């Protein structure tokens, strides 16, 4: 069990290292761009090079599990090495797995990632609430017990998600807002920040969600390659941007394979975020 809650550790990491999450996404196109083969050897070289270059200075690393799972058991073994390398260098690890199921199946997913003795144990995971927010209870309970975090998909930027996420219930509340409200109830009274976060695309319209009182971190993917900028974060999240963890993947990873170039790219993004978000925080 972690000595401090995930919310406390994330707050400290963002203060010490800056508000940036970098995705470790071994997409086949990126492997080719780095001159690596599209096999498990290329996967290992790519993932470990990026992790070793960034884990000592970035607050959060976010491996995308699917790109490792695609290589079977050998790919999962590489993922285990990535997690260990990141932890040793002091980065928090948010595993992007988007798990969402019911009953014993969700409990098994929870044991795989949020238990202290699990080979794939990480600081936090992404989960999907679209089988009902109550289906996440095993993950929420286990994360609280072990001092880990959960990021719940709320309002994603992909067009296919609009139909479900913007649908309204009988009371007029959108599905996305109902998820935010459920997360807020989980985080009531927790200091300095709750352990249950949400995922909100950095390109959504600012009027879509009410985040005041949510009291948890907001993972905001879409920075860089998907078109979002630091200015967009201020526009979308306003004063609440202090709890936002912007995420960038391809826009930083494309600078590899040189470790120094990867670190410089991450530093440039982080400096831009600090400059813009500090202005917002002073409003």
107-153 pLDDT per residue, tens = 999 999 999 999 999 999 999 999 999 999 999 999 999 999 999 99
62 is catalytic: no
* 75 φ/ψ angles, rounded to the nearest 5 degrees: -70, -40
pLDDT tens for 170-197 read: 999 999 999 999 999 999 999 999 999 9
**pTM of the entire predicted model:** 0.95
Higher pLDDT, 17 or 233: 17
**Residue listed under structure tokens 């289906």:** 135
Of the residues 17, 38, 87, 98, which is catalytic?
98
CB 46 within 8 A of CB 52: no
Higher pLDDT, 230 or 190: 190
Average pLDDT over residues 1-23: 93
Which domains occur in the chain, in start order?
Answer: 6-281 (3.20.20.70)
pLDDT tier at 283, thresholds 50, 70, 90: very low
pLDDT tens for 23-53 read: 999 999 999 999 999 999 999 999 999 999 9
Answer yes or no: is pLDDT of 261 > 90. Answer: yes
């Amino acid at each position: 069990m972690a000595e401090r809650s995930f919310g406390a550790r994330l707050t400290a990491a963002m203060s010490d290292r800056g508000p940036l999450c970098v995705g470790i996404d071994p997409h086949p196109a990126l492997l080719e761009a780095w001159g690596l083969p599209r096999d498990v050897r290329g996967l290992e070289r790519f993932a470990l090079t990026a992790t070793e270059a960034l884990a000592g200075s970035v607050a959060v690393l976010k491996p995308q599990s699917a790109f490792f799972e695609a290589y079977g058991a050998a790919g999962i073994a590489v993922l285990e090495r990535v997690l260990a390398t990141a932890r040793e260098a002091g980065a928090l690890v948010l595993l992007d797995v988007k798990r969402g199921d019911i009953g014993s199946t969700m409990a098994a997913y929870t044991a795989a990632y949020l238990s202290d003795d699990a080979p794939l144990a990480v600081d936090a995971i992404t989960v999907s609430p679209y089988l009902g927010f109550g289906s996440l209870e095993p993950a929420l309970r286990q994360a609280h017990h072990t001092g880990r975090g959960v990021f719940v998909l709320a309002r994603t930027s992909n067009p296919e998600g609009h139909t479900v996420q913007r649908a309204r219930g009988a009371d007029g509340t959108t599905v996305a807002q109902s998820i935010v409200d459920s997360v807020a109830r989980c985080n009531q009274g927790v200091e300095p920040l709750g352990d249950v976060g949400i995922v909100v695309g950095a390109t959504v319209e600012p009027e879509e969600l009410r985040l005041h009182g949510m009291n948890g971190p907001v993972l905001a993917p879409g920075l860089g390659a998907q078109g979002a900028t630091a200015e967009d974060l201020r526009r979308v999240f306003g004063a609440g941007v202090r709890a936002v963890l912007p995420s960038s993947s391809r826009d930083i990873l494309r600078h590899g394979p040189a470790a120094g170039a990867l670190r410089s790219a991450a530093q440039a993004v982080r400096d831009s975020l600090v400059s813009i978000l500090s202005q917002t925080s002073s409003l």
